[in-house]
Amino acid sequence: MAFPSSYSVGITSLGYQMVWATLAQRSDIDVRRLFTDQGDPPHGGQRGRGPDLDLFGLSLSWELDGPVLLDLLEQQRIPLWSSERGDQHPLVFGGGPVLTANPEPLAPFFDVLLLGDGEELLPAFLDGAVASQGLGRAERLRQLAQLPGLYVPSLYAPRYDPAGQLLAVEPIESGIPASIAKQTWRGNSLTHSTVITPAAAWPSIHMVEVVRSCPELCRFCLASYLTLPFRTPSLEDGLIPAVELGLKATQRLGLLGASVTQHPQFSELLSWLNQDRFADTRVSVSSVRAATVTPQLAEILAKRGSKSLTIAIESGSERLREVVNKKLSTEEIYGAARYAKEGGLTGLKLYGMVGLPTEQEADVEATAELLIALKKATPGLRLSLGVSSFVPKAHTPFQWEGVRPEAEKRLKLLAKRLNPKGIELRPESYGWSLIQALLSRSDRRLAPVIVAVRGHHEQLGGWKKAYREIASQPVNGGAPLPAWEEVIHGRWATDRLLPWDHLEGPLPVASLAKHHQEALRA
């Protein structure tokens, strides 16, 4: 079971931990972990023939980690392309948010993709994989393709018009489902750490997932739309037992989720953590909704060792916040800063975006003005703004929008305005946002580019060079690569067939298109 990064990063992933624990608890499976810098001792195998391996899994949560899959496959002596594997090779499977949203650029490298939440999906896949062990590869894959949420890319083929426009991704034989629906876990419990180690990127911390998805439905947000519906485990049966379990091993607790303070019993959880017996426990929370910040929240977190709070504002412009469906007033942002300071916290981290649909330069100026005014209103509170460029994501209302070239100069505008005022600006790379968009919007025609960029995937120039090389090659039986600009910056019509339209997300395309229109009207 592989993770496409170092051990310290991979073991900090709650999703990866959950998958590994599910595998490790089964008596019919012998699981070994693999990271880019280390791994468990490999399975035995005959010398010169590679490892004795039935399944090879990958958890993928970040688009830019996708090309690392090929290095890991090569390390295991597994052919990169699924079409080149025979009965003697393991089934290569994968899951995680990136592969659930749009697996098509990486699909030719996988035998099976697991779309959705792993709690039920993973055991069903494992049962199917074990039960079909005696069959040939082709028949095994046909059987697995019948299970809900399992996508076998080799049993589907894209069809294009003469101009290279995608017309369909269809089954290549009868009896294969025409579409695959993402699977959703609806149990009372969510995930928590199964490994606590000082070697993790967040050392010695017990992570507890407080909520899954987010009820706010910001129109760009994959974490909200892809994981609907919003789910919250109960306090007594879900959260408290999970917290108690981890605090037997560590005094560091991380409460995770897209909007943890919107758990209906979050204030009760805080009160419970405010007991004297937790005096030595250090508690941190991931991003919270600004409107839910209270003096009680700030005071208890400060008392439990937190230094700062993190809120996402997206923009200082109320008009733009309405466009993206960010239900947040300027007054609530000021209130969050004030309560944070009054509660004893020393910092407030804000997250925003540039390049959102309909954004004007005046909207970016409004963000700068808001941060400068916040600093004046709460002297002594350390402010920082993390800002990224908008990247369209599959299964969101903004999947039809492209990356806006203006974003690059608007990042520089924020730096020019905020740095002299003593406000820390932490911008994400505009250039890498382009590669994110390439991976999040492409279809299977990108797979040869991913092969060609190996060894240079950490360089922007390497991606552009590989794309040009593949685009210049003759096409054999398929369609040419679309123009780089069209994939990354193109604003697509809502009736266009998208690479992931045969994969059903939580909301139908018609609902996403309606939300898209509402955004543009706003």
> What pLDDT is recorded for position 47?
44
145 with 190, same domain: the answer is no
Whether residue 101 is contained in a domain is answered as: yes
> What pLDDT is recorded for position 474?
79
Whether residue 237 is contained in a domain is answered as: yes
pLDDT at 48 over 60: no
Q: What is the mean pLDDT of residues 83-89?
A: 96
pLDDT at 46 over 60: no
Confidence of residue 241 (pLDDT cuts 50, 70, 90): very high
Across-strand partners of 91?
55
Contacts by residues 123-132 (CB-CB < 8 Å, ≥ 24 positions apart) = 123/22, 124/148, 124/149, 124/150, 125/93, 125/150, 126/22, 126/23, 126/26, 126/29, 129/54, 129/55, 129/91, 130/28, 130/29
18 with 72, same domain: the answer is yes
pLDDT tens figures, 150-175: 999 999 999 999 999 999 999 999 99
Q: What is the mean pLDDT of residues 192-219?
A: 96
Whether residue 399 is contained in a domain is answered as: no
| Final residue belonging to a domain, choices 235, 265, 286 | 286
Total domains in the chain come to 3
29 with 175, same domain: the answer is yes
Q: What is the mean pLDDT of residues 53-68?
A: 93
User: What is the enclosing helix (H) or strand (E) of 377?
Assistant: helix 361-377
pLDDT tens figures, 356-393: 999 999 999 999 999 999 999 999 999 999 999 999 99
- Residue 499's closest CA among 99, 40, 69? 99
With residues binned 3-state (H G I as helix, E B as strand, rest as coil), the percentages for the chain, rounded to 5, are 40, 15, 45
| Final residue belonging to a domain, choices 258, 286, 314 | 286
Residue 97 structure tokens = 């948010």
pLDDT at 50 over 80: no
> What pLDDT is recorded for position 45?
55
135 with 223, same domain: the answer is no
249 with 144, same domain: the answer is no
175 with 201, same domain: the answer is no
Q: Which of 91-95, 188-192, 271-275, 471-475 has the lowest mean pLDDT?
A: 471-475
Question: Do 281 and 310 form a contact (C-beta atoms < 8 A)?
Answer: no
> What pLDDT is recorded for position 455?
86
Whether residue 271 is contained in a domain is answered as: yes
> What CATH code is carried by the domain that includes residue 72?
3.40.50.280
Whether residue 88 is contained in a domain is answered as: yes
pLDDT tens figures, 103-137: 999 999 999 999 999 999 999 999 999 999 999 99
Residue 131 structure tokens = 């039960």
Whether residue 58 is contained in a domain is answered as: yes
pLDDT at 437 over 60: yes
15 with 85, same domain: the answer is yes
Whether residue 90 is contained in a domain is answered as: yes
What crossing angle do the helices spanning 407-418 and 430-441 adopt, rounded to 10°? 150
118 with 262, same domain: the answer is no
66 with 142, same domain: the answer is yes
Q: What is the mean pLDDT of residues 299-327?
A: 96
The upper half-sphere exposure of residue 413, i.e. CA atoms within 13 Å in the direction of its Cβ, equals: 18
User: Containing domain of residue 48, as a range?
Assistant: 7-153+169-181
Residue 318 structure tokens = 């109320």
Residue 314 structure tokens = 């997206």
User: What is the enclosing helix (H) or strand (E) of 425?
Assistant: strand 424-427
| Final residue belonging to a domain, choices 234, 269, 286 | 286
87 with 149, same domain: the answer is yes
Whether residue 450 is contained in a domain is answered as: yes
Q: What is the mean pLDDT of residues 87-103?
A: 96
> What CATH code is carried by the domain that includes residue 281?
3.30.750
55 with 198, same domain: the answer is no
pTM of the model: 0.95
110 with 251, same domain: the answer is no
Confidence of residue 475 (pLDDT cuts 50, 70, 90): confident
pLDDT at 72 over 70: yes
